[in-house]
Structure 1
């Protein structure tokens, strides 16, 4: 399959461009250097995009030290799968983060590394001087140290590592084209599984997780919760440095941006807030651990998607997968249905009235006390039948006819 490949960076361009307006010359220079370096890397990536990726190796990890250089081929070996721990904590954090992500996909989703064929995992630390980003380039994971003023060492964020590696999973499954809605889905899949790896590592439930992406990339002096919030898109930050988080949480606020680098290739890091919110809502309503049913539904839907999959198509796929995996009218399927509805996407083929009736069976309390979807629909049918029967009996009485008393079977739960 032919795929449109891009360099996938964790820091979206709109933040770096905003930093170019800073009154602090050091902040401006670091942002400019990061943008220039990323543009150069994109050019190199396009040249070797058709070359084969990393060899199979049962997910074996190798970490290299760039020593603040810009050329990966000159980096030094810092730690291997069978070697001792390093004295450099950046090396060890990257090594451990690759393992957590690899083990999550293997143990939770039965996937053998990023390509499902044991692809080896290579990481490069200390890339460039004051580089404010981390990225997956289709072959390896690369980490900047940050400028120390706004951004810290990017190896310190497990969800960032998992986010970037998930771009590899997406590339080897759906191959979602990195622009417009398919690109926003690409970014959203990385946020979803980046968050799930962190939740899995910390044994957090949907209720106790923070649902933040990149909460650890800022220095303590920066007034920001994270790069993105899946629970509350658009509320991760609001300050003079970065401006206000531009992510929408509903289709009515979808951002139509140019399909170029400055426009974030159609707003892939921005519009990803919509499917991000849908996943959070589904996970919260199903309850328990989000890497269970919600994660499996999204993963199977990713595998069933293609390069040009749009929001509507992906939403429809998650609904069908929920049915295949957990049953028609199951609590899991109803949670998926209502989650997409809440962000402004109606599942195809589900009439609005039916959607409202089914959605009523799911509450927002993390799944606690929810009713099975079919049972809820049956209850509503019984209640309607009881009302019709009551009206029939009243009409019959008016005609002077006396019907024998009815048995209780089929009456509504309130006894009518």
Structure 2
């Protein structure tokens, strides 16, 4: 049974409440102005309907060979245009521009993870070309998936580095495309938090796969490379300990909960999508750590099975998702198996299921 397609708000990596804190702080007015511009652009993109992939840009052809990425990196040249000027495509040598070459490399690594670990051929599972635009805007403080491509800002250099620097950020944005194609999780409230969590999960797994890290060896941080030395924090999110990623005089304190007892009821941030995603994130971490070994070989398979499950609806909540996770763990590893038991206990530990 095919799932209904829903036009959802555009997901962005940077939580808006962090940018709002910077914009309202007493830092220099030039920085405040740049951050305010990022917020205005993000609001614009959130209000846009999904672009028509065929007409939004001249789409290059995908790779004719399954297992081979087709990457096209553009530069917006500090303008607010998409896709921009093509500067590197599949098979070409490095350009010497760090943002261009990082986007190219990390998109290839993410493609390889989805292909090798999950047997998925790109975003649409049919070899869709991977389009990335770098140098978007001036000091743009975000990265996003717009329904047709990934877009990366350069950051301000004061609080945030360029968004292509972090493999898990690039993986996170590509994963949003996969999530949109498969489940179309509406980007508000609990379904939106699941959307964000799944992107974090696959972004983290991409990094773990690339560096051959077991669950015990991984840092379980999201966006660690984004923060400059000025920020008092380790990353933007922590799957191991939601709520502890940063505590900074300007950015504020990481608001993520790790348990349903602390679920945040809010109308901000599309109903708390970047906040309450800490709960399903932590469930994944607990299950992966309890099972040990390579997380993409156990929990990663079950989470991906659930993303593909026709019963996962665009507005599914945490309880629905957790129930499907447990059923898919039973199906893949056997009812009563160690894997199934551990995964169920992880969702119990964060208070989603009894």
Aligned to 1:61: 71
Whether the aligned pair in 2 keeps the contact of 1:62 and 1:77 (CA below 8 Å) is: yes
- Residue 310 of structure 1 pairs with residue 310 of structure 2: no
Higher relative contact order (CA 8 A, sep 6+): 2
Deviation at 1:56, TM superposition (A): 5.5
Structure 2 residue 10 is the aligned partner of structure 1 residue 4: no
Which secondary structure does the structure 2 equivalent of 1:127 belong to?
A: coil
CA contact (8 A) 1:61 1:80 kept: yes
Question: Is the 8 Å Cα contact of residues 20 and 31 (structure 1) preserved in structure 2?
Answer: yes
User: Cα deviation per residue 1:81-120 (whole Å; 9 max; x = unaligned)?
Assistant: 0322212121110000100111100110000101111111
CA deviation after TM superposition for structure 1 residue 337, in Å: 1.1
Query: What is the total number of aligned residue pairs between the two structures?
Result: 341
Which deviates further from its counterpart, 186-195 or 7-16? 7-16
Is 1:119 the counterpart of 2:128 in the alignment? yes
Cα 1:247–1:49 change in 2 (3 A) is farther
Give the Cα–Cα distance (whole angstroms) in 2 for the partners of residues 128 and 99 of structure 1.
Answer: 24
2:87 corresponds to which residue? 78
Q: Contact between 1:4 and 1:178, CA under 8 Å: does it hold in 2? A: no
Mapped contact 1:211–1:230 kept (Cα < 8 A)? yes
Question: 2:50 touches 2:147 (CA, 8 Å); kept in 1?
Answer: no
Secondary structure at the aligned position of 1:64 is classed as strand
Q: CA deviation at 1:306?
A: 1.7
Q: What per-residue deviation string (whole Å, max 9, x for no partner) do you get for residues 238-288 of structure 1?
A: 111111111111111111111xxxx11110000000000000000001110
Displacement after TM superposition at 1:26 (Å): 3.1
**In 1: Cα distance, 2:200 partner to 2:132 partner:** 19
Asked if the contact 1:152–1:219 (Cα under 8 Å) also holds between the matched residues in 2, the reply is yes
Runs of 4+ in 1 over 6 A off after TM superposition: 50-53
Structure 1 residue matching 2:39: 3-state secondary structure: helix
Query: CA contact under 8 A between 2:71 and 2:131: conserved in structure 1?
Result: yes
- After superposition, residues 353-372 of structure 1 pair within 5 angstroms as none
1:27 aligns with 2:37: no
**What's the counterpart of residue 135 of structure 1?**
144
**Given that residues 206 and 290 in structure 1 are in contact (C-alpha distance below 8 angstroms), is that contact kept between their aligned partners in structure 2?**
yes
Matches within 5 A, 1:310-329: 310-329=317-336
Aligned to 1:151: 160
1:283 aligned partner: 288
* Residue segments in structure 2 that go unaligned for 5+ positions in a row: 64-68
1:264 aligns with 2:274: no
Counterpart of 1:170 (choices 179, 185, 206) is 179
CA gap of 1:102–1:50, structure 2 versus 1, over 3 A, is closer
Secondary structure in 2 aligned to 1:122? Answer: strand
**Runs of 5+ consecutive residues of structure 1 not aligned to the other structure:** 348-416
Contact map agreement 2:133 2:150 (CA 8 A) in 1 = yes
User: Which residue number corresponds to residue 295 of structure 1?
Assistant: 300
Q: Deviations over 1:348-372 (max 9, x none)?
A: xxxxxxxxxxxxxxxxxxxxxxxxx
How far did 1:42 drift? 3.1
Is residue 13 of structure 1 aligned with residue 11 of structure 2? no
TM-score under structure 2 normalisation? Answer: 0.93
User: Does the 8 A contact of 2:9 with 2:187 survive in 1?
Assistant: yes
Q: Encode CA deviations 1:109-157: one digit per residue, 9 max, x unaligned.
A: 0001011111110011111111111111111111111111111111100
| Structure 1 CA distance for aligned equivalents of residues 36 and 292 of structure 2 | 43
Give per-residue Cα distances to partners, 1:310-361, cap 9 Å, x unaligned. 10011111111111111111110111111011100226xxxxxxxxxxxxxx
8 Å CA contact retained: 1:174, 1:302: yes
1:97 is the counterpart of 2:102: no
Structure 1 264/327 Cα, relative in aligned 2: closer, same or farther at 3 Å? same
Task: Report the structure number with the largest CA radius of gyration.
Answer: 1
Tell me the residue number matched to 1:273: 278
1:334 aligns with 2:344: no
